[in-house]
Amino acid sequence: MKFRFAHNNFNVMDLEKSLAFYREALDLTEARRITAPDGSFIIVYLTDGVTPHLLELTWLRDWDKDHYDLGDDEFHLAFTVEDYDSALKKHREMGCVAMENEAMGIYFITDPDEYWLEILPAKR
């Protein structure tokens, strides 16, 4: 029996704001969308256009809190990038860099809901 990664889910407060962030920051695009007939949720799957792995963004109409509990910022999703220096420059300009670890050659950005996203060079 062989299992393969399919997707990761992030619940989001403002779907359009999150979609714009992921498009600008990481060049992710919408692969497909599921909207509940009663409007209670919208699920959008984002793709990098290269790997089969997807990021699922879920918006819940009836969520009654002003944020999601993300623990101690240890949970994260990692991305590789060919031009690490240009990516870091872009993310600094966007104001979304949360932490840089120069010794390890990585950094983290945060999305509009404060999910941490690790950025590392494609070739190490």
- Give the CATH number of the domain where residue 56 resides: 3.10.180.10
Do 16 and 53 belong together in one domain?
yes
Mean pLDDT (the chain) is 93
- Is residue 3 over pLDDT 90? no
Q: What is the pLDDT of residue 72?
A: 64
Q: Which residues contact 85 (CB under 8 A, 6 or more apart)?
A: none
What proportion of the chain, given as a percentage, has pLDDT over 70? Answer: 96
Domains in the chain, number: 2
Let me know whether 56 and 1 are in one domain.
yes
User: Which position has the higher pLDDT, 69 or 36?
Assistant: 36
Last residue of a domain, one of 62, 86, 111: 62
Domain-located, residue 67:
no
13-62, pLDDT tens digit by residue?
999 999 999 999 999 999 999 999 999 999 999 999 999 999 999 999 99
Give the structural domain span for 33: 1-62
Q: State whether 44 and 79 are in the same domain.
A: no
